[in-house]
Amino acid sequence: MSTSTVTNPYDGSVVGEVPLLGTAEVDAAVARSRAALREPFPAHARAQVLDRVAEGLEQRAEEFARTIAAEAAKPLTTALGEVRRAASTFRFSAAVARTHAGQVLPLDASPFGEGKLGFTVRTPIGVVGAITPFNFPLNLVAHKVGPAIAVGCPIVVKPAAATPLTAVLLHALVLECGLPADRFQVVTGPGSSVGARLVEHPGVDMITFTGSPEVGWDLRARAARKRVGLELGNNAPLILAEDGDAAAVVRAVRTAGFSHAGQSCISTQRLLVHRSRYADVVEDLGAQVATLRVGDPLDPTVEMSALIDTGERDRVRSWVDEAVAAGARLVTGGTVDGTLLAPTVLADVTPDMRVCADEVFGPVVAVAPFDTLDEAIALANDSRYGLQAAIWTASLQTALTAAHDLDFGGVLVNEVPTWRADQQPYGGKRDSGNTREGPAWTAEEMTEIKTIILSGWGS
């Protein structure tokens, strides 16, 4: 069988190899998954497996983090944080396995329901096909695998071609923890063949996808008769109100705009600053961002490393150059050193620039002034995305106004839009997707409601 070589985006070194599978292997994996649906696997056993996985991740955190850092160029300290989050995701999934249930129906609330007992149960939707991205090669796999195990759905995961090793390592751990092998399988290979077959396979009942809107909506169109959950992009805005803590915002954005080179769908991308604070914030942010330590992701002192490949590096650099040519001011960064794009701050941006209108998915924060809260909210909402937004303010009234008027799936107050708890309902509107993730909410997506009616009750 032919293989695909996985390389470190920072220095091009070989990290490992994975099998280069095709449609035949996808078909075989789906067939095994469908057979697994017929085998009993009670909730207590599912919960025990999930708890063991969480423990295993904590015990092997360094191993997983080094794998993530090597194949994704995610700084080692950030990768360790991802491992801790993934352990939490599996623990919340174990809780779902123990508690996810239906409800009693108040049938005698109408005369026609007298003498009847009604209740619902949640049943597995069937086989789940999961397509995961490169930027969180462990925790975004966990957000699909954990809930699937919890509710009894066999799952076939197609990881990103650039970062498959972490998913393969997780797969081995999960099986070591007692999961029957046919309930979690990994298929590695190109999206054009392996991913496409998974999407179109008649034996797959649900597709869950995290990635770009262009790919996601096309995938949904090709899987019209399946349930399709999409978690897509964003160009996350952060509003600094006139009374907000500017120093705290600068400190927070120094990390939130550049962690993993900005390759997160909730990376802080647009910073909207009240005009009275604007000049100072731009200067302070530029100075702070210039101190970021950039380099080898396996160096524990490094805070930011390379984009996933040189093509992405060049794309992001071209967007920066395009913004500067259109009138934006380059405060810091914008330069290329080998595989690295320096962390970049742009000021005086306008909404029509691609660094504002689209998802940069790179180490760029674009800063613009505003005069009124209504203007700031309008600028934030002027987006085809709607995942998470944030505001920094000392005023409860301002916070409540923003929470009501910001048209996003999540609104954070005195926090960056990059913050996420793994147990929260996470997802957005418009081109940011059509679902909510977080184990309890994903469990709803991965199950069907079956209604049971018993007659003769109470007679």
Residue 164, domain CATH: 3.40.605.10
Q: State whether 291 and 364 are in the same domain.
A: yes
402 is in which domain, residue-wise? 237-413
Q: pLDDT digits over 235-271, tens only?
A: 999 999 999 999 999 999 999 999 999 999 999 999 9
Asked if the structure places residue 77 within a domain, the reply is yes
Per the annotation, the verdict on 265 as an active-site residue is yes
| Contact by Cβ (8 Å): 268, 417 | yes
Q: State whether 277 and 192 are in the same domain.
A: no
**Integer Cα distance of 272 and 5 in angstroms:** 42
Beta strands in 125-168 (DSSP E): 128-131, 155-158
Per the annotation, the verdict on 356 as an active-site residue is no
Q: pLDDT digits over 188-222, tens only?
A: 999 999 999 999 999 999 999 999 999 999 999 99
Q: pLDDT digits over 106-147, tens only?
A: 999 999 999 999 999 999 999 999 999 999 999 999 999 999
Instruction: List Cβ neighbours of 378 (8 Å cut-off, separation of 6 or more).
Output: none
Asked if the structure places residue 426 within a domain, the reply is no
- Active-site position among 71, 231, 242, 312: 231
Q: pLDDT digits over 68-106, tens only?
A: 999 999 999 999 999 999 999 999 999 999 999 999 999
Q: Tell me what pLDDT residue 192 has.
A: 92
Q: State whether 193 and 273 are in the same domain.
A: no
C-alpha distances in Å from residue 431, one per residue of 24, 93, 230, 358, 420: 33, 27, 9, 11, 19
Asked if the structure places residue 421 within a domain, the reply is no
Q: State whether 188 and 252 are in the same domain.
A: no
Q: State whether 252 and 312 are in the same domain.
A: yes
Q: State whether 47 and 99 are in the same domain.
A: yes
Q: Tell me what pLDDT residue 263 has.
A: 98
Asked if the structure places residue 418 within a domain, the reply is no
Q: pLDDT digits over 414-435, tens only?
A: 999 999 999 999 999 999 999 9
Instruction: List Cβ neighbours of 64 (8 Å cut-off, separation of 6 or more).
Output: 57, 79, 83, 86, 138, 166, 169, 170
Q: State whether 206 and 300 are in the same domain.
A: no
Asked if the structure places residue 459 within a domain, the reply is no
| Contact by Cβ (8 Å): 388, 409 | yes
Residue 132 DSSP one-character state: -
Asked if the structure places residue 141 within a domain, the reply is yes
Q: State whether 383 and 450 are in the same domain.
A: no
Of the candidates 269, 244, 237, the residue with the CA atom closest to the CA atom of residue 375: 237
| Contact by Cβ (8 Å): 326, 280 | no
Q: State whether 87 and 137 are in the same domain.
A: yes
Please give the mean pLDDT across all residues of the chain: 97
Q: What is the domain count for the chain?
A: 2
Asked if the structure places residue 51 within a domain, the reply is yes
Q: State whether 195 and 285 are in the same domain.
A: no
Q: State whether 42 and 104 are in the same domain.
A: yes
Q: State whether 281 and 165 are in the same domain.
A: no
Residue 458 predicted with pLDDT over 80: no
- Active-site position among 265, 303, 312, 356: 265
Q: In CATH, what number is assigned to the domain containing residue 287?
A: 3.40.309.10
pLDDT confidence tier of residue 459, bands split at 50, 70 and 90: low
Asked if the structure places residue 268 within a domain, the reply is yes
